[in-house]
Amino acid sequence: MRSSLILLFIAAFSVNALGSDITIYRWVDENNIVHFSQNQPKTGNFSQLSAKKMTVQKLRAESIAQLEAAAKQKKEEEAKAESIKDDEKNQCLTARNNLKTLQDFDNIQYKTNTGKVKLLTAKEKKAQLAFNKKQIELYCID
């Protein structure tokens, strides 16, 4: 009975100590090597750092949270990359359709921002042909 009380006391103290602040000492020895310890060095040239002890469960939870955050970020980046790829496919398709229309027909009608219907001039058609060919170069990766 007494030994179980002692074990219970030790366990309670250990769990308590895991969540408490600890002091870490940092110093550089005569060989220019940096040391860290929980025991205060005998030399007077050291600095004190304070840290929180963490339970294994807390460390595990933080690690899992970091992994989940990284996985979420990767998934978001992949979705963004897929969206960009879809946009490029749509741009390619539009440019190819526009080029085919410009090549197949002499008179091309279009609507202005005000809704007025106009015909492309020869100069405008030439510019649109060049523009759509450039769009195909940019977006159509075959």
Please state, in angstroms and rounded to a whole number, the distance separating the CA atoms of residues 23 and 38.
6
b/e burial code for range 96-128 (CB count within 10 A of at least 16 → b) = eebbeebeeeeebeeeeeeeeeeebeeeebeeb
Query: How many domains does the chain contain in total?
Result: 1
At residue 61, the pLDDT reads 85
At residue 48, the pLDDT reads 84
User: Looking at the DSSP assignment, which residues form a beta bridge with residue 122?
Assistant: none
Range of the domain at 97: 80-142
Q: Is residue 85 part of a domain?
A: yes
Q: Is residue 46 part of a domain?
A: no
Q: Is residue 64 part of a domain?
A: no
Q: Is residue 13 part of a domain?
A: no
pLDDT in tens, the chain (142 residues): 444 434 333 444 444 444 567 888 888 888 888 888 888 888 778 888 877 766 667 778 888 999 999 999 999 999 999 999 999 999 999 999 999 999 999 999 999 999 999 999 999 999 999 999 999 999 998 6
Beta strand pairing status for 46-52 and 109-111? unpaired
Count of alpha carbons within 13 angstroms of residue 27, beta-carbon side? 13
State the pTM of this model. Answer: 0.50
Identity at 29, one-letter amino acid code: D
At residue 19, the pLDDT reads 52
Q: Is residue 30 part of a domain?
A: no
Q: Is residue 70 part of a domain?
A: no
Q: Is residue 6 part of a domain?
A: no
